[in-house]
Chains A and B, each alone.
Chain A
Amino acid sequence: MRRRRTLLRLALAVGVAIVASTGVAYAASLGLASKQLHVWSQTLTKGTCDQTSTTAADTYVQQANPNSVTGGTATTLRIVPTAGSQEYSFITFDLSGCSLPTTGGADSAALSVFVTTAGNDTISLFPVYSSWSESTLNWNGLGGLTIGSTATTTFSGATTGAKTVPVTADVDAAIKAGTLWGWELRATTGTANVVLASSENGTAARRPSMTLSYEK
């Protein structure tokens, strides 16, 4: 009887040992399965780089004066939808001072312009994807530009005053592309003339500006 109890204890001890060792081995096999897991973490830096007339370039082109480049030094930007004498405006900012890598991006960007002469038009902003200069761009040069076919955003020119519109997607794409080429502004509805203050305008507060929050 005593011997039988002893053998029973011995068997129990062996059983416990086997179960314990099996459990540890099983945990190890789970660890082995995770061998193909690779993990990375990337931390972003946030900042702001607001743009003013100092870094702005703007002009307007005239269908009726296709060789004119006077828009580059004018104090206003004109938008005219009249067939045969249309006028389009262009605005951009030099973001090089922000030192943003092409792996960075815009968290938010908003363009502000000031309407000095109102007209009941919808003013649409089309992204420009190729280089232009405010000192040389004219109507005849439009054919050499690459301009998006879909408007990024719009605003109403029906009232005078400041107009602020989001341009985050365009600026984000421009940062990744390396350069911002800005927007063409033209009337997509309406027949009136709309005039904006340019970066040469005598009233600094009316000049085009852009807020920019970024990550890199």
Chain B
Amino acid sequence: MKRLTRIIGIALSAAFLSVGVASAASLGLTSGKLGAGSAAVSGCTSSSLTATRNVDNNGNVTQVNVLSVPQACAGQTLAVTLENSAHASLGAGSTVVGACTGGCTVNVTGFGTVAAANLTSYALSLTG
């Protein structure tokens, strides 16, 4: 009887766990599809974004301009991180994408003093 009870208990535990894991796996798959650009994110997708930056006369970054942000991204938060060659952050800024027609150019400021010479990559993200 005791052994039977243990077996039943273990079986029930395994059943609950497997249900939970299965559920997580399916959610993970759904998440991957959405991130790749399904209609569920209202068209706020792009194969890539291009960023440029403006500098002052001392060569410090004053503003980052992110080009061709889809119109459907209005209301989402665009975050920009300036990185050095080791991909360490030199400064970061963000802004909410405003309404615009066609591809939007979104300007982000507030990076502090970052020498453009040390900037080797941009990390961009859109969250909504």
User: Are A and B part of the same complex?
Assistant: yes
Taking a contact as CB atoms under 8 Å apart, the answer to whether B35 and A35 are in contact is yes
Are B116 and A38 touching (Cβ within 8 A)? no
Distance between Cα atoms of A165 and B71 in the complex (Å): 42
Also in contact, A39 and B13, with CB within 8 A (given A9-B5, A168-B56, A168-B58): no
Smallest beta-carbon distance B94→chain A, Å: 13
Docked-complex contact B34 and A36, CB < 8 angstroms: yes
Smallest CB gap from B18: residue in A: A21
Q: Which residues of B contact A38 (CB under 8 A)?
A: 35, 41, 44-46, 125-127
Contact A46 B124 (CB under 8 A): no
One of A2, A12, A41 near B122 (C-beta < 8 A):
A41
Pair B52/A105 contact, Cβ less than 8 Å: yes
* CB contact under 8 A between A39 and B124, given known A22-B20, A107-B55: yes
B57 touches A166 (CB 8 A): yes
CB distance from B20 to the nearest CB of A (A): 3
Contact A13 B9 (CB under 8 A): yes
A-B contact count (CB 8 A): 162
A24-B20 CB under 8 A given contacts A6-B5, A38-B125, A40-B125? yes
Interface string of B89-128 (1 = CB under 8 A from A): 0000000000000000000000000011101111111111
Question: Of the candidates A12, A20, A36, A169, which one forms a contact with B17 in the assembled complex, judged by CB atoms under 8 Å apart?
Answer: A20
Residues A12-60 near B (CB distance < 8 A)? 12-14, 16-18, 20-25, 27-29, 31-32, 34-44, 46
A residues 84-111 touching B (CB-CB < 8 Å): 103-108
The answer for the CA separation of A122 and B52 in the assembled complex, in Å, is 34
Q: Is B88 engaged at the interface, CB distance under 8 Å to the other chain? A: no
**A40 adjacent to B49 (CB under 8 Å):** yes
- A152: CB under 8 A from chain B? yes
B125 to A9, Cβ gap below 8 A?
Answer: no
On whether the beta carbons of B53 and A18 are closer than 8 Å, the reply is: no
Interface residues on A, range: 35 or more
Shortest Cβ gap from A58 to chain B (Å): 21
- Contact of A44 (CB < 8 Å), options: B1, B12, B120: B120
Residue A153, interface by CB 8 Å: yes
| Known A20-B17, A25-B24; contact A36-B127, beta-carbon cutoff 8 A | yes
Bound-state Cα–Cα, A32 to B30, Å: 8
Please name the residue on chain B nearest to A109 by beta carbon.
Answer: B59
CA distance A104 to B116 in the complex (A): 12
What are the residues of chain B within 8 A of A167 when measuring CB–CB? Answer: 57
A42/B122 contact (C-beta < 8 A), A17-B15, A35-B34 known: yes
CB neighbours of A10 from chain B (8 A)? 5, 8-9
**Is the C-beta of A156 less than 8 angstroms from some C-beta in chain B?**
no
Residues of A within 8 A of B (CB): 2-3, 6, 9-10, 12-14, 16-18, 20-25, 27-29, 31-32, 34-44, 46, 103-108, 152-153, 166-170, 172-173, 176, 213, 215
Chain B interfacial positions (CB closer than 8 Å to A): 1-2, 5-6, 8-10, 12-17, 19-21, 23-24, 27-28, 30-31, 34-35, 40-41, 44-46, 48-59, 67, 76, 115-117, 119-128
